[in-house]
Structure 1
Amino acid sequence: MKITTIGIDLAKNVFQLHGVDAHGEAILKKQLKRDQMAAFFANLPSCLIGMEACSSAHYWARKLQGFGHTVKLMAPQFVKPYVKTNKHDAADAEAICEAVTRPTMRFVPIKNVEQQAVLALHRVRQGLVKARTAQANQIRGLLSEFGLILPQGIAYLYQRVPVLLDEANEELPGAFRELVQRLLGHLKELDRQVGELEVQIQTWHRSNALSRKLEKIPGIGPITASALVASIGDAKNFANGRQLAAWLGLVPKQHSSGGKTNLQGISKRGDTYLRTLLIHGARAVIRCAERKRDAQAWLHRLIGRRNKNVAAVALANKNARIVWALLAREREFRSDYVAA
């Protein structure tokens, strides 16, 4: 019998396969090691392959597509309901094989090498920023134990720490002063690395027409624009702007029953990094709008009746929809645009 559909449970070294024929009968249950995967699928007739969108999934999707197979990725939470028994590799592979054939299943677009490379820059930058913040807080905490208090902001650390150490030279042990100087040097190194990665991201941004197009939207800069373009890929995978906003977790979470609609806070699904960038950009727009009364009338009315945090999320939602319109319909951003 010919295998028509295969579910693959990805792992580091041992991969579990579950294959069925056109009638849904299981005719393949097999474990493969990493170095056996390419040879096995290169000699297999073209079929539908399903995988969870997890670590190394995009690499294997591109690899198997090169062998002529149709590959679809799914979010793990959408596969979980199809697990019929206790969790193990064989049950997971069978669930993936079942889920990939569902007509209402939602699939994850496969990223190309360039998209993954740009997102890797963003992820490493995000980790370095987190480490920089932790290092700055550690320096503040250590100095506060000796009564040396610093204002908020990393710039104050560079300016005030050497001065405070000189002023309290006789009160602080030499070993502690050396320790703080060592931590301050580490902080400067982290700051330098963050700056270098931001230069690389901006270089890619300037070379990408779609990223430059998104930069024109208020609240979206080079960092946010490049992350959106690399993550979204083909915006036509989304039917409308609301689907993109929902994918980013910027729409209300719903808990309704018996015809009674109950809308709660935002769902916070999808990519936390993208959602954070959009909301922070919206906060910057709101700060500027408060100083310029001739700015967006819609935004001023919203700020007047709702909390600023609610307004920031609403503006981030609106920007996500604008992003979809610019990418999917190949339009340019116009600040004076009015809907018909």
Structure 2
Amino acid sequence: MGKYTTFVGADVHARSISCRAVNVATGETWSKTFAGEGKVISLEEWVRTLPGPAIVGYESGCTGFDMARRLAADGIECEVIAVTTIPRSTKDKAHKCDKLDAAAIVREMANPVRGYSSAWVPSAEEEAARELARLKVRAAEEVKASKQRVACFLIKHGHAWNERTESGNLRKTWTAAYRTWLNSLRLDDPTSELVLNELVAAVDRRMVEDGRIRSLVEKEAEKPRWKPYVDALCRLSGIDVCTAFLAAAEFGSFERFPSGRRVSCWIGTIPRNSSSGEKEAHGGITKDGNSFLRRALIEGCCGMQNRKNTVKGMRDGFVSPAVEAMAHKANERMLGRYRRLVNESGKSVNKAKVAIASEMARWIWAVGCQVEREQGASADS
């Protein structure tokens, strides 16, 4: 912090930017509001009039990283502050406006004891890939939600799918047999029939949309920027092309994390901690940070109880012997750990899945770092 003379806190909105700046050497403060299409350019011109060197900070949110990239390209340092790491007092919550928010940001930036975290600013290409990967996640969620609407509607009308296998397990839904059963249903009211047809049609539309977005993800994953990482991460059990692309896009740069524990903190799979004096208590996972990747990894662990200790099939692409060895070791370790947690330690299946997902994130980080080193070595040679 000592290398900066002026700190600028910016409360950024779609059509305005409210700023508060402070000179830590003299204590002098300035306030300014910018609006309109050229608000970022006006902000840059104003920052250059302040005593330097200066740094700008604003909260993460729906405005994204565009302003941070534009300021950095013009030689003005900028950091995006994780909004959840800025402390808010009861007074701050009771009296809120743009100027007070900007003042709270600059107050934290100028504090010698740093209490906030800065978000990593991705490039435009990395952010675009991240948005595509998240679009695929949302499309799959829409398919799931639309299917649930059909099931709930049928239950209200006294119909429930109950076809079972020879072993007594419930057969899967939305198969050919399930659709035949759907078409055979007759409801009492013509309007209810119309509603059911629309709900089923909505499922079909969303499944088509999900398939189209999956094709876009698979096409993007073949680009040179992502293919080495996707090929390597697909060697891990429970990770397909879409999950591998999501992980690569969300990480952006694997080596930005100094340790595996920081990765677990980032996806929110570490336990909560409440300690005071000699008392110490741990709770459920924090669920902080990247929810997209956390959910994807936990869902990828749902088949752990049926997973076999076999070598995973290779998809088209090249994986170095070092990555192959790491992936094989990871698959063996995670399967063995899951079985110990469930069969020997008596942990619930859900707790075991979360524990394995947390370790999976660390293995993804380790494999990604290895690929980054290989890519860097090949670029230098």
Aligned to 1:58: 65
- Greater alpha carbon shift after TM alignment, 241-250 vs 299-308: 299-308
Instruction: Map Cα deviations across residues 232-273 of structure 1 (whole Å, 9 max, x no partner).
Output: 222232220001111111111110111433222211111222
Aligned to 2:152: 141
Query: Could you say if the C-alpha distance between residues 10 and 80 of structure 1 is closer, same or farther in structure 2, counting changes exceeding 3 Å?
Result: farther
Separation (CA, whole Å) in 1 of partners of 2:76 and 2:303: 46
Match of 2:229, as an amino acid? Answer: L
Q: Contact conserved, 2:59 with 2:83, CA < 8 A, in 1?
A: yes
Q: Contact conserved, 2:5 with 2:25, CA < 8 A, in 1?
A: no
State the SS of the aligned residue for 2:14: coil
Instruction: Map Cα deviations across residues 113-161 of structure 1 (whole Å, 9 max, x no partner).
Output: 22222222233333333333332223223333443322575414x6445
- Greater alpha carbon shift after TM alignment, 19-28 vs 8-17: 19-28
State the SS of the aligned residue for 1:6: strand
Aligned partner (choices 237, 242, 260) of residue 223 of structure 1: 242
Query: Could you say if the C-alpha distance between residues 163 and 203 of structure 1 is closer, same or farther in structure 2, counting changes exceeding 3 Å?
Result: same
- Are 1:29 and 2:31 an aligned pair? yes
- Are 1:310 and 2:351 an aligned pair? yes
Aligned to 2:361: 320
CA apart distance, 1:111: 1.7
CA apart distance, 1:48: 0.7
Separation (CA, whole Å) in 1 of partners of 2:255 and 2:144: 38
Separation (CA, whole Å) in 2 of partners of 1:195 and 1:297: 34
CA apart distance, 1:21: 2.0
- Greater alpha carbon shift after TM alignment, 71-80 vs 34-43: 34-43
Separation (CA, whole Å) in 1 of partners of 2:369 and 2:88: 32
Aligned to 1:265: 284
Aligned partner (choices 274, 277, 289) of residue 296 of structure 2: 277
Output aligned runs, 1:23-102, within 5 Å.
Answer: 23=25, 25-43=27-45, 44-45=47-48, 47-81=54-88, 85=92, 86-102=95-111
- Are 1:7 and 2:9 an aligned pair? yes
Query: Could you say if the C-alpha distance between residues 167 and 230 of structure 1 is closer, same or farther in structure 2, counting changes exceeding 3 Å?
Result: closer
Aligned partner (choices 168, 192, 195) of residue 176 of structure 1: 192
CA apart distance, 1:33: 0.8
CA apart distance, 1:221: 2.0
Query: Could you say if the C-alpha distance between residues 132 and 200 of structure 1 is closer, same or farther in structure 2, counting changes exceeding 3 Å?
Result: same
CA RMSD of aligned residues (A): 3.0
CA apart distance, 1:329: 4.5
Aligned to 1:338: none
Aligned to 2:376: none
Identity among equivalent pairs (%):
20
- Are 1:206 and 2:245 an aligned pair? no
Q: Contact conserved, 1:248 with 1:274, CA < 8 A, in 2?
A: yes
- Greater alpha carbon shift after TM alignment, 98-107 vs 71-80: 98-107
Query: Could you say if the C-alpha distance between residues 177 and 324 of structure 1 is closer, same or farther in structure 2, counting changes exceeding 3 Å?
Result: same
Match of 2:369, as an amino acid? Answer: A
Q: Contact conserved, 1:254 with 1:261, CA < 8 A, in 2?
A: yes
Unaligned runs of 5+ in 2: 163-170, 312-331, 374-381
Match of 1:312, as an amino acid? Answer: K
Instruction: Map Cα deviations across residues 184-223 of structure 1 (whole Å, 9 max, x no partner).
Output: 2221011100111111112222331223222212222222
Separation (CA, whole Å) in 1 of partners of 2:257 and 2:88: 24
- Greater alpha carbon shift after TM alignment, 201-210 vs 123-132: 123-132
- Greater alpha carbon shift after TM alignment, 215-224 vs 195-204: 215-224
Query: Could you say if the C-alpha distance between residues 148 and 77 of structure 1 is closer, same or farther in structure 2, counting changes exceeding 3 Å?
Result: closer
Aligned partner (choices 110, 122, 130) of residue 119 of structure 1: 130
Q: Contact conserved, 1:82 with 1:98, CA < 8 A, in 2?
A: no
Separation (CA, whole Å) in 1 of partners of 2:348 and 2:145: 30
Match of 1:177, as an amino acid? Answer: E
With the length of structure 2 as denominator, give the TM-score of the two structures.
0.76
Query: Could you say if the C-alpha distance between residues 153 and 32 of structure 1 is closer, same or farther in structure 2, counting changes exceeding 3 Å?
Result: farther
Aligned to 1:336: none
Query: Could you say if the C-alpha distance between residues 205 and 284 of structure 1 is closer, same or farther in structure 2, counting changes exceeding 3 Å?
Result: farther
Instruction: Map Cα deviations across residues 65-87 of structure 1 (whole Å, 9 max, x no partner).
Output: 12211111111122234897532
Output aligned runs, 1:158-169, within 5 Å.
Answer: 159-161=177-179, 163-166=181-184, 168=186
Separation (CA, whole Å) in 1 of partners of 2:282 and 2:28: 42
Query: Could you say if the C-alpha distance between residues 265 and 42 of structure 1 is closer, same or farther in structure 2, counting changes exceeding 3 Å?
Result: closer
CA apart distance, 1:323: 1.8
Query: Could you say if the C-alpha distance between residues 291 and 222 of structure 1 is closer, same or farther in structure 2, counting changes exceeding 3 Å?
Result: closer
Match of 2:341, as an amino acid? Answer: L
